[in-house]
Every structure is written in C-alpha cells, then in structure tokens.
Chain A
Amino acid sequence: MKSHYNISARGAAGGSMSLFGHIDIVTLMLYVALVLVGWLSITSASFDSESAEIFSFSHNYMKQLMWIGISSVVAVVLLLIDRRYFHMFAYPAYVVGILLLLACLALGREVNGAKAWFEFGGIRVQPVEFAKIATALMMARVMSSYSFNIKRFSDLVKVAAVILIPLAIIVKQNDTGSGLVLGSFLFVMYREGLSKYIYFPAIFTVFLFIVSFIFKPETIFLTLLVLFAGYTLLKTGAWKEHVQFISIVLLAIMLLSSFTPLSGYAAIMIVCSIAAVVLVWMAIKSRALMLLWPILMYVYAMLFVPTCDFLFTKLEPHQQNRILTFVGMKSDPTGIDYNVNQSLIAIGSGDLLGKGFLQGTQIRYDYVPEKHTDFIFCTVGEEWGFLGALVVVALYISLILRLMRMGERIGEPFGRVYCYSVAAILLFHVWVNIGMTIGLMPVMGIPLPLMSYGGSSLVAFTILIMIAIRLDASTTDDNIYSL
C-alpha cells in the first residue's frame, strides 16, 4: 500500500540520525518568516516611544521575544525526537489534553467570559491550544490504524468521538470560538475519503441558518423556488412548462392572499408546499431523478427555515442578540461592531503601501482594540498596506499548501492525516482571524497563528508545525510501523 504514495518523490536518505538534512527548509523558513513578521507587528503595536527602557521586559515585544526563544528550544527538541514517539504518544497526549481541559473547566480562570485559562505566576496558558495538538495526533493515530475505513460507520463514529469529546468540553468552557477550530478536521476527513454528500447538506444548512436571519422566509422560499426552477430549466430545457409552472405558483399565491383571510406568508407556504409535492411527483414520473436532489433540498429548506425561526424565539434574549449580531442583523456600535469598525478603519487606511513601521496612527493611538493579540493583523494592514497584507496572506497560504504537500509525500496515513490537520487548523485560524479583522467573519477570540502576541499560542503552533516537519523529515524511514 505504501508504494501507491509516489508523490513523495524524495530520494532515499540516510539513517534517522541525519535528521536535519531532511528537514523541509521551505516550511521552516515560512515559519520563521511569520514569527518575525509577527514580532515586528507586536513591537509596532506595543512600542511606547515615551518609555525610557525600550529593552525592558515589561514591554510586550520583549516578552514575546522571550517566548520566541522558548519556542526555538521546543522546536529543536521536537526535531530531535524520533517520529515513532509521536505515534506512540498520541493516546497519552490525547488523554492528558482532555484531562487538562476538564481541569481547566473546574479550576481555570475566567477571561472575557470564557473559563479557558490556567494562570501560573502571571503567565496565562490556554489548554485548548495543546488540546489541538493532542487531537491532531489522535486523529492521525485513529485514522492511520490498520483497516481504518472512514466510509465504515463505526470508524466514522470513532473519528467523530475524537473530535466531539474535546469540543464539548471547550463549548462548556464558553470558548465556542476555539471549539469551532476542531471543526476544521472536516477538511482532513474530506482528504481521507469522507463522502461529499455529507458536506453539501452541512454547507447548505449553515447557509440557510445565516440567511434565515437576514431575509424573510417568504423571500427565501421564492428565491429558492426560482433558483431550482432555473436549475431544472437548464437541465431539461423545457421553457414553456417552467414559465407555466412559475406563473401558476405566483398566481395561486396572489389569489390566496387576496381572496382568503390567509396572510401572504401563509399563502406562500401553502402554495410552495403544494408546488414541492408536485415537483417531486413530476420528477419521479418523468424519471428525471437527477432533479430529485435539488427538490429535496428545497423541501428541506421549507422545513428548516420555519423550525429555525421557531427555535430562535425559544432562546434567551442575550443569546438571540449574539446570533443577530453574528449575522449582522443587529449592530452593537459600542461593543463588537466598534472593534470591527476600528479594525476596518486601521486596515482600510493602510492603502497600497501602508503608513510605515511605527507610523500607524490607529495602532499607535490605541484605536484598535486587542491590537497586539487578536487584531494583530491590523498592524500589518495599516503599516504595510495591501502589499504587506498580501505578503502575510501569501506566507500563510504557502505554509498551508506546503503542509498539505508534505502530507501527500509522507506516503503513510499517520503523517498525512497529521500534516493535513495542521494545515486545516492553520487555515481555519487564518480565515477566521483575518476575516474578522476585515469584517468577513464574526468576532471570535481566535489568534492569528505565530503572529498574535501570546506564549501558549506561539508554543502550541510551534509544536504543531515542528511535529509535521519532523514527520516529513523521516519519510524514508520505512520500517517505523513494523516495530
């Protein structure tokens, strides 16, 4: 089976002692580049020109420098560890990770409403960062086990359990944002052959969920009806029938709402339900089974949207507010919206080339909240402009693609699943974090990997990436599983 994975076109290499010779320099350089850019940004965000001692460890950039040093040590140590130990430690690491999360839930410190931190003498550590590593290793271990087949239901349940156990604890910690990171393992599972039919409904459901808050149900049903009619029209080319069908539907809606005491909403619901049944019947009758799945999605939407609306009314008001702010239906100019606005202003005022190192006014004068942690990307956007942002995004995307490529060339499932897991976690973080700073995503307390200020995050991502590099470096060590 190993021989199938011939993407890994790396020549035979020496023994396990010449490790550094096989280290993927590109990945390492990308890592170093991002850490450096991150440190420069933190320096800019926390530099205080009025402070006398610029090298004092009271400054965030000096603290971060210390964390970079610690990370370097961790990196060297990890690169020296034999890959077999990672395979071996997957189970214990996962158990320890879960225990840490539970301990945190019981004994942790609450910051910003999330009970997700341990504090040791002024240093805060977020166990969820390490739970990610443990889960990634565990995923790799489970999915690389002999005769594992993701299409088998029992195996899928195993994988789901690996993800859902930490996820449940993290959500319980009220740290939903970090919990959603684990959702990025869906990315890995797709690579490992999970059916695409699981993804379509999932994406469709998320889409409907968001849309159901923004538009009225009537609008959604009519729009979907027209979309699906348009889709079948393209598939069948039966113009006349489609025009007739749409006309009858619209006419029926108008008649019902005008001449009966029914409201417009009820009229649309009734007519669209009948139309759906007619469509299903016609699809079956005409053996046009390829039309069946869009019709089913339509029926699903008709059931989901009202249910969603109904369930929403059962929520607590503050939960409702959070969801409404999330989908942009409610503005909160002093809270979340204010942060995003200031972030947009900072990045938007960067223009093409930016204002220059230490010259960003919004950063310098504290207009951007959390400017050295979650909103560190604002410093890049404001001081280095679109070009700087482009470089940073390119660095991340290169790193992610590189990790995926490493996963492919490793040629065995443990390394591949692990590399993909790291890539997926990075992708999720980059998308959510940068997306948040430019108003594409809701604000979730998710750091920008390697760049955001914070020791536990930097060390955790260092460990994640270094393990991937280490696994990749010893690809040619064929007999690792034959111990």
Chain B
Amino acid sequence: MNQVQKGYRRYLQLRGVVLLVAIVLLGRLFYVQIIEDKYDDMATANIIRRPEIEYPMRGEVLDRNGEYLVRNRVCYDVMVVTSNIPKSGFDTLRLAHILEITPERLASQLKKARRAPRAPFLITGYLSQEAKLIFDEGNFEGFYTRFRTAREYPRKIGGNLLGYVSEVTEEQVKKWEYYKPGDYIGVGGVESAYETLLRGEKGVSYRIYDTHGALKGSYFDGELDVLPVKGSQLVSTIDGRLQEFAEELMVGKVGAVVAIEPSTGEILVMVSSPTYNPDLMVGRQRNNNYAAMLHDQRNPQFNRAVKAKYPPGSTFKLVQGLIGLQEGVLRPSDRHPCSMGYSYGGRKMKCHEHRSPVDLRDAVATSCNAYFCYVFKDIITNPKYGSVRSGVERWNEYVESFGFGRKLDSDFYGEGKGFVPTPEYYDRKYNGRWNYGSVLSCAIGQGEMGCTPLQMANLAAIVANRGYYYPPHIIKHIEGQDSIDARFYERHYTLVDSINFVPIVEGMWRSVNVWGTSGGARLEGWNVCGKTGTAENPNGKDHSTFLSFAPKDNPRIAISVYVEHGGFGSAIAVPIASLIEELYLTDTITRPQLIERVKEFTPNYAYYEKMQRRHDAERAKKSN
C-alpha cells in the first residue's frame, strides 16, 4: 500500500469517526428530545413550580336576626422558600419584629424550612393587613405572603355551638381527597356540621416563575386557572342577643341551656357552660389556648348541651304522667297519697313535704315523687302486658317516641343519645332477676336515666306542641338553597295523644302561676308553664333543672336549663329560664336585681376542683 492510498484510507477512517460523533450526538438528542417525555413535565414543573391553591372565603354565619355570629377578616400567611433567600442574608431582627414573633422562633422556623429548601414553608400565619404592608416594604427576598381569611366572632359567643376552624390532620387528609396538608377544616358545632357548605371550593392558579423565583405571569394566559368559590352564607336559628345573655347568666356554673322555638324546632339558644370565647381558637395563641382548655377539668370544649348525659330528675315526671294517661292507667283526677315518700319492698323513695293526697295536676305542680311512683308502677305492671319486662318494653317505646335514648337527628355532629334503661340492660345488671322495684327510680328520672339538655328542651317543645316536635336544628337558611334538609320540616309525633297533654300542661301552668315549685318563673301576662327538677347525683349537691315553655297557648319558646350541683330546680334553673324567656318574649329586662343574683350564684364545685387539683398535680409530676 503506498503512501497516497494509506493516507486516503485514513481520511476515510477519520471521516467515519466524525460521522460516528454525529450519530452519537443525534442519537442522544433524539432520545432526549423525542423519546423521553419526562423533561417536558420537568420543564413545566420548573416554571410553574406548583399549582397554587387559592383558598376560598369560608361562608359566614348570621344569627336569626341577621347579625354576624361568624365573619371573616383578612389576614396573611407568611411563607418562605429558603432557596430563594439571598446568600448575603437578611435582617432577621427586623423581619421578626414585623412579623411579631421572637427572633428565636423565626430562626427555628427557618431551620425547619431549610429541610426542603425549594418548598414553600409557612413561617407564621395571621399577619394583619397593616403588618403586611410593612412587610411588603421590607422586600424580603424569598419570603412572600399568602392571602387568607380568618374567623372572627363579633359577639364572642357560642364557642361550642359554632365550632372552630383548624388545620386538617394527617388522618383527615388521608380520608378525604379534597383536603391537602395545610388546608383548614371546621371542627365541632356549625363549622363541622356544615363544613362542605362553608368551605366553598378551592381555586387553583398556575403561574410562571423564573429561576430566581420572580413571578413572570400566568401559564397559558390563565386558561387552566380555576377561581375559588366562596363558601355559602348560613343563617342560624340562634338569637345572638339571647345567646349572649344566656351565656352571661351561666358564667361560673357548669351546665347547659337550650331554648327551642316549638313551632319550628329552631334552636334559639344553646349554651354549654363553661363556654369559651371562640376568638381564642383563631390566631397565633390558638395552640396555647387550646392546651389550656384541654387541661381544664370542667372541659369547656365539651358541648354539654348535646353530649352530656344528665339525669332528668323530676322534669321526667311529665313523660311518666303522659304515658300513664295514654295507657289508661291514670286519670287526671286520680289521687295518690304521699307520706314524705313512697315505700316499696322495704325501701322508700323519699319526697318533700307537701299536702296529700294530690291529683295529677297538683302532683305535677308540686313535683310529688310518690305520685309518679304509683303511675310508673301502674304502667309497667299493667296486667295487659303480662310481665314487668313487657311493661318496661312498652314504656321504652313511649319514652323513645319523646326523643330519649336516641339521637334527635339534629344538625349537630356528635349529638349524644342519652340513655334509657331497657329490659336487656336490667337483665345484665341484675343477672336476669329484677322486678318493678329495681327500676322504680326511673319513675322520677333518676337512676340510670340520662338525657342531653337538647332532649330535655325538646321535651319542653313536645309538651308545648301538645304531642309532636320538629328535629331541633341550628341552621334555618343556606345561601343559594330554597330550603334546608327535608327532615327538619317533618313532624315527629309521640305515642301520646294530644288530648292527654291537657292536664300535664295545666299542671305545669299551675306550678308557675298558682301554687308549686316553679313560681319564680312567673311572667305577668305570658302564661309561662314549667316543671322543675332536682336531680340527685353521686358527685355532690343535686343538679338544678327546669323545663318551661311560654306562652301556654301558641308557645313561642321552650327551654331547658340544667345547672350541675345547683341545688333545687327553683334555686337557679328557674330564674335563668325565666330571665331568658322574658327577654325573648318581651324584649325587656325588668328584674336587674335577679340578674345580679343569678350571676353571683356560684354552686359548690368541690368535685371539679378536686379533679383539677389532682390533674394539676399529675401534670406537675410529669413535667418534673
């Protein structure tokens, strides 16, 4: 091979090398650009970074007269993307000052944020509008604000009633697709029951950012963006002024007040005491306030009005009498003797001193224990049912028709059932061997009986309506809807005929207006009807309770007041109910001294105090 041929061959070989380079480059380009698709997504992810959630305004809640119970105020979340913080740093002291947090808090938040330097991280929430303006002027690179709204409670009432808004938990995120970490969700009360309506619909926006994090406009001119839809406004059945008044009266007492409009089932007042200022559950101090409440043994977060199980005491005699009348074992004119109580099987159900014998109306008016023991015994030992067991079963059916021992199907999540003992329960308790004596305490609403204050208020409404109720509810109108859920328009009749309510109502009227335990509830011209209760309990002084409705004909309000360890029904429950009724019916307050007396009345809560001391001691021990 000569020199020329050899040179030419090498020329061809080197040309091959050049072409090989071209093929490798183009092959790789073909793969990267055409076959591999992930870079397209990565390019989009680069410029969009993430779909930005736009939070809708949560729906407000109005009271029945149109004033705000819950409204929104504008606030801002302060976010950071630590990778965008300039290397030269920034004035941390100044930022902490503007954000109204301690420099240490800012430093610890930044440390957490740096774990994912390119992800937005919430430094702090609830920045006021004024502070936001100052923050914007500071031009802190890497930090930005996010529009949010926070709940605000003009009257600062109805903590348990309204519920609050809180960040979703991990379990909630797992359970419902709608929620993403960092979203807010209603907890308790109206916020929780009407969450899907109140929350609105989240919007989303896609924005383009350059590599330095500067906003460069909308992706696809915003065609893919979805605007947030504001949550529905709700009109509550609550009367804000009445609610506030009732809460004031209940200060210092543990218990509940529930008032219902009998003709509709609308809840006018629902107080669970102790309550809390719902504003405490908004803002930066939220966690501290929440923890403080958790350690309070009176448990302000527990909605006693719908969850507590209280013995109804004498107020339950109304039900007893009604069942007796319906069953035909009792006539209004029947008289029973009472010698300071009712003796049976070597035991005695005690009664207070009053004239004897009494008929049904006066038995209701004076709240005679013995009388209703006779009635109850007659009901459950009625020969037509053959046995006490069947008698109790029949009695159970009646009691349940009054809404006891089951949920009333109100619009509250977590509504309690209360408890009504059944034959099966007694079988278990007494090993199958029991007689009417074993269950007699039910005659006067003691023993195993447990009712929620809502159920008791509902009983007042039933009696006011002479035999039926509408499921009590707290929302009467939803923005954009013609009506609320159909179940709230449905009358629920008890198993007792309307006619049989007459003597009972008469007794309740007499108790207030003529002679009886409820005299303190008298309002001139309003024909208030009422029934006191004094429920024994193992933890201290008797509970004070009172059921009432007014006026007697075409009643406008039915109310149940329950004060734990308040003593006689007439001692505290009656005046509270009476003051609320007066304000509602007449729009005036004529007895300021009574208000003062009620406010100053503080039952002896030795039981709770003992629990609190024990709890505090345990905490102190733990923290050591």
Report A-chain residues with C-beta under 8 Å of the C-beta of B43: 345-346, 348-349, 361-362, 367
Q: Is B210 an interface position by the 8 A CB rule?
A: yes
Nearest CB to that of A188 among chain B residues?
B14
Q: Which of B29-37, B550-558, B570-578 contacts A (4 or more CB under 8 A)?
A: B29-37
Residues A381 and B4 in contact, CB atoms below 8 Å apart: no
Residues B8 and A385 in contact, CB atoms below 8 Å apart: no
Report A-chain residues with C-beta under 8 Å of the C-beta of B29: 347, 381, 386, 389-390, 393, 438
Q: Which of A428-481 contact B (CB under 8 A)?
A: 430-431, 434-435, 438-440
Q: Is B432 an interface position by the 8 A CB rule?
A: no
Q: Is A224 an interface position by the 8 A CB rule?
A: no
Q: How far is the CB of A394 from chain B (nearest CB, A)?
A: 8
Q: Is B154 an interface position by the 8 A CB rule?
A: no
Nearest CB to that of A389 among chain B residues?
B29
Q: Which of B525-564 contact A (CB under 8 A)?
A: none
Nearest CB to that of A4 among chain B residues?
B4
Report A-chain residues with C-beta under 8 Å of the C-beta of B33: 347-348, 350-352, 381, 385-386, 389
Q: Which of B177-224 contact A (CB under 8 A)?
A: 208-212, 216
A431 to B42, CA, bound (A): 25
Q: Is B96 an interface position by the 8 A CB rule?
A: no
Interface size class of A (residues with CB under 8 A): 35 or more
Q: Is B619 an interface position by the 8 A CB rule?
A: no
Q: How far is the CB of B548 from chain A (nearest CB, A)?
A: 71
Report B-chain residues with C-beta under 8 Å of the C-beta of A366: 210-212
Q: Which of A49-92 contact B (CB under 8 A)?
A: none
Report A-chain residues with C-beta under 8 Å of the C-beta of B17: 187
Q: Is B11 an interface position by the 8 A CB rule?
A: yes
Q: Which of A335-349 contact B (CB under 8 A)?
A: 342, 344-349
Q: Is B40 an interface position by the 8 A CB rule?
A: yes
Residues A5 and B4 in contact, CB atoms below 8 Å apart: yes
Q: Which of B1-17 contact A (CB under 8 A)?
A: 2-4, 6-8, 10-11, 13-15, 17
Report B-chain residues with C-beta under 8 Å of the C-beta of A381: 29, 32-33
Nearest CB to that of B210 among chain A residues?
A365
**Contacting residue for A191 out of B14, B208, B209, CB 8 A:** B14
A349 to B17, CA, bound (A): 29
Instruction: Indicate the member of B24, B43, B44, B212 with the most A CB atoms within 10 Å.
Output: B43
Report B-chain residues with C-beta under 8 Å of the C-beta of A5: 4
A464 to B24, CA, bound (A): 26
A438 to B35, CA, bound (A): 14
A172 to B208, CA, bound (A): 44
Q: Is A266 an interface position by the 8 A CB rule?
A: no
Contact flags B368-386 to A (C-beta < 8 A → 1, else 0): 0000000000000000000
Contact flags A381-410 to B (C-beta < 8 A → 1, else 0): 100011001100110010011001000100
Report A-chain residues with C-beta under 8 Å of the C-beta of B216: 364-365
Residues A348 and B14 in contact, CB atoms below 8 Å apart: no
Report B-chain residues with C-beta under 8 Å of the C-beta of A423: 18
Nearest CB to that of B5 among chain A residues?
A4
Q: How far is the CB of A367 from chain B (nearest CB, A)?
A: 5
Q: How far is the CB of B320 from chain A (nearest CB, A)?
A: 78
Q: How far is the CB of A323 from chain B (nearest CB, A)?
A: 23
Q: Is A190 an interface position by the 8 A CB rule?
A: yes
Q: How far is the CB of A444 from chain B (nearest CB, A)?
A: 16
Residues B18 and A427 in contact, CB atoms below 8 Å apart: yes
Contact flags A180-205 to B (C-beta < 8 A → 1, else 0): 00000001001101000000000000
A366 to B46, CA, bound (A): 10
Report B-chain residues with C-beta under 8 Å of the C-beta of A365: 46-47, 208-211, 216
Q: Is A255 an interface position by the 8 A CB rule?
A: no
20 cross-chain CB contacts under 8 A: A190-B10, A190-B14, A191-B14, A193-B6, A347-B32, A348-B38, A361-B43, A362-B43, A365-B211, A367-B43, A367-B46, A386-B30, A390-B26, A393-B22, A393-B26, A397-B18, A397-B21, A430-B21, A431-B25, A435-B25
Q: Name 13 extra pairs, CB < 8 A, besides A190-B14, A362-B46.
A: A191-B11, A191-B14, A193-B6, A193-B7, A347-B39, A348-B38, A349-B39, A351-B40, A362-B47, A367-B211, A397-B21, A401-B18, A435-B28
